[in-house]
Structure 1
């Protein structure tokens, strides 16, 4: 392939890894398959990543970014608090429905990592990344709409993670997108009940 910067090469390898994992499964994904998908030499992988664990963490961050970006766009639009939150959730959900195998990779990664001693931190970091994303959403919407959360943000971030993660996994195995979305809407309305006017300084 043409000469590109190390950062670009790294991003290409991450996206190639996602495609290979979605196609072949996490356990069967090899370094050679990833560099082949990216049209690179094997040495490029070792130049860009210190370990397989580092690659897997970056794969999780990339998939989270794929879904967080459209959510943040929706959150930044004009509208009520409810419209913004549901719009952000819809952005996430549309990605799940359009790219189900990419999301299936995240669940495979969790189970694969917890059974591999060298990857023990990957599953923990995976959910730290999810909580960071949820915290970003909660803080962003509070700042832009002038509300405060009656429950601590770390608690709400975990509640969101459980709701979204569980419903995504249910959909991936059940396939009923319409009912799953209705359940997510219901969960988001429970979250909205925790919003109150921000105190005046």
Structure 2
């Protein structure tokens, strides 16, 4: 492979890891398999990451970013609060339906690290990241539109993280995208009520 900057190499290895983990599972995603997928030497992995744990955390963060970034762009864009909230949620949901295996991977990572000695804290950090992502979306809405939430933002963010996570997991296991989207619509209605929308 041609010479690649360290940050680009990390990004390519994270992308390769996602592909390998989606295909083979977290427990079978060896460093050798990941560097092979990225067409890099094994030394590249050890140069870019302190451990497989660091890579797992970055994989979960990358999948979160794939849903958060477009939603944040929509929420801070044009339109009424209701339009932006509904469009932001629809953006997230489209990603779930179009890339279900990536979302299954996030749950697999949670279970894997929860059951691996020394990695348990990664699951807590993963879910703190979900709460923080919802908090960022709420803060973007409230700051842009001068809205005051009916409840503390941290509490609403935690509630939304739990509801969205639960509905996503329900869909991934049940397979009924329409039913899950309808349940997500109930959560959006509730959120709009908390926003005074």
Secondary structure of 1:147's aligned partner = coil
Distance 1:61 1:123 in 2: 12
Alignment of 1:27-46 (within 5 A): 27-46=27-46
- Measured after TM superposition, the shift of residue 82 of structure 1 is 1.2
Distance 2:118 2:8 in 1: 27
Secondary structure of 2:151's aligned partner = coil
Could you tell me which residue of structure 2 aligns to residue 51 of structure 1? 51
Could you tell me which residue of structure 2 aligns to residue 9 of structure 1? 9
Distance 1:91 1:9 in 2: 29
Tell me the C-alpha RMSD between the 2 structures.
1.1
Residues 19-77 of structure 1 show CA distances to partners (whole Å, capped at 9, x for unaligned) of 11111111111111100010001000010001111111111110000011111121122
- Measured after TM superposition, the shift of residue 196 of structure 1 is 4.0
Report if aligned partners of 1:20, 1:29 keep a CA contact under 8 Å in 2: yes
Matched, 1:160 2:147: no
* Unaligned segments of structure 1, at least 5 residues: none
Residues 130-188 of structure 1 show CA distances to partners (whole Å, capped at 9, x for unaligned) of 11111100000111122111101110011101111000001011111111111101111
Distance 1:53 1:153 in 2: 31
- Measured after TM superposition, the shift of residue 113 of structure 1 is 0.4
Distance 2:74 2:44 in 1: 37
Matched, 1:83 2:83: yes
Report if aligned partners of 1:142, 1:149 keep a CA contact under 8 Å in 2: yes
Could you tell me which residue of structure 2 aligns to residue 126 of structure 1? 126
Could you tell me which residue of structure 1 aligns to residue 191 of structure 2? 191
Distance 2:99 2:195 in 1: 32
Distance 1:42 1:114 in 2: 27
Q: TM-score, normalised by structure 2?
A: 0.97
Report if aligned partners of 1:53, 1:118 keep a CA contact under 8 Å in 2: no
* Unaligned segments of structure 2, at least 5 residues: none
